Structure formats: structure tokens, C-alpha cells
Amino acid sequence: MGVLSNKVERENLKPGDHIYSWRLAYAYSHHGIYVNKGCVIHFTRGEGQKIGTGTGLDHIIGSSLTQHPLDNPCPICGNQSRSDGVIYSCIDCFLSGGDLYRYEYGVTPAFFLVKARGGTCTRASSESEEQVIHRAFYFLRKGFGVYNVVKNNCEDFALCCKTGLKVNPTDNVGQSGQATSFLAVAGAFRSVPLTYLARFLRLGYAATSVAGLAASCGTYCVNRYINDIGVRRDVMRVVLEEQKWFEWSKPFYVSTTTLCGTLAALSGNTRYLVAE
């Protein structure tokens, strides 16, 4: 774990860890919550289902699930190739042959900016192992909405489980670091004047072109940072149905620490979204 890589060995995983694995030659990553005993809860779309962009990406980015032959399904998970929504899988099916990485929480601004690739860390802090796993199993039962690669994807799911926060669903992009990075790249390219791009093709203007590209890099970093869930102001705290005020029969939610924390949060400006 560190600046260069978040790679982790299976034996070092802890329940409640946010894990991910790269797909399609590192083009994107699939995220989930490790619960215990080699099992993961994650949010996915099934084979052949669109990812919600309305573009050619719907056909390029495939299902994140392992494709087992029909006559040889996974002995633990069975055939999940067409499963969608929040599902429970063994870690081998989750990884789909890829390496294992652990998402980092509560990183410093400097560390966040050094990790130039989005979808690997956040400034936000993780809540307790018990709360994370409770949310994951709640969404396993109740669902996490309709999959959308920009607004509601697997990383959005894992971030919500870990932090209890979710971006306003009316916004154009969710809290996913991958999605905000793609948009930051687009914004950086738009910030480069066409004259710089034209001059970049001429060796005589190399210095000017480098200065323009450096400015674009700065734009990319700023856009990534201000859209991180640990920095954004348009987030809401997700309150599960089981946490409603009238359900005092659940001792987990009425501990002194939790009650005081909830009252303190309610006294602030944080908005709340009830997960039905």
C-alpha cells in the first residue's frame, strides 16, 4: 500500500475493506466490499446490459463478472454472468483473474494529488467495520438503484457503504473517483487552446506546448480534488430504513456514541437521504 500501488494480499484483508480490481487492460476498475471468509458484496450490471451512457461505451465495457462456461459454473457462486444489482460473490469471481487492490480512506491532500489515477483513494474517512458491513448487507437486500457508469456505479456503492455519504442523485456525476477523473480529463483538454495543440505538432514550439500541457495537468488535478466525496458539499448522509427514529428496538443504533453523533450531525448542514 502506498503512492505507487494499493495492491494487497488476500491474507491482509479485513472485513469492511473496500477492494477493487482492474479490468480491460487497466481502463477501469471494479469495486466491492470485502465481508469475510473470501466473500465480497458488490454492485454490477449483467452481461449484455447497458451501462447508462447512451454511447458506444455501452458495448465496449462488458460485465464485471467472471464468465464461466454454462456446464462449469463456479462451485461457490454458480453462474452469475447475467446477474445485476448488488450481489454476493466469492473473491475469485469478483477479481475475475485480476490482481487485488485496497482503496485508501482519509488520505492527505498531497497524497490524493500524487495518486493521479482516480478511483484509488479519497479524502473522506471510513466509518467502523460494523457500519460498513451492515450497509453492504442492507443494500444486498434492498438494492442500490439502477446501475449507471457515471452516476451510480460499483465505486459509488462501495464509497457509500464505507462513508454513509452519497452525492445528490440529481447531479450529473456521482461520487466515483473514476467518473470524476474521466470528466477532469475532458475538462483539462478543453482548457488547452487549439493554438497550443497546433503548436505541439511543430518542434519549434515545444516549450510553449509543454507549458500549455502543464496548465492542463493542473486543471485536471484541481477538478479531481474538488469533486472528491471528502471535499464536495453536495453530499447527503444516507439513513437506512432500519435507522429511523421510531425503531428504538435495535440496540446498535441507540448506543450513546451513535446517538450523540447522530444528534451532532443533525444539528449541522448535512442533508439526509433515506434509503427505502
Catalytic annotation present for 42: yes
Contact partners, residue 153, CB within 8 Å, separation at least 6: 43, 51, 147, 174, 176, 178, 179
CA distance 201 to 241: 58
Residue among 18, 30, 31, 134 flagged as catalytic: 30
Closest CA to 198 of 212, 186, 188, 215: 212
Exactly one of 39, 77, 121, 154 is catalytic; which is it? 154
> Which amino acid, residue 232?
R
Candidates 42, 93, 134, 160; catalytic one: 42
- Concerning whether 134 is annotated as a catalytic residue, the answer is no
Burial 76-112 (b: 16+ CB within 10 A, else e): ebebbbebbbbbbbbbebbbeeeebbbbbbebeeeeb
Give dist(CA 235, CA 168) in Å, integer: 6
Q: Is 30 a catalytic residue?
A: yes
Q: Which residues are catalytic?
A: 30, 42, 154
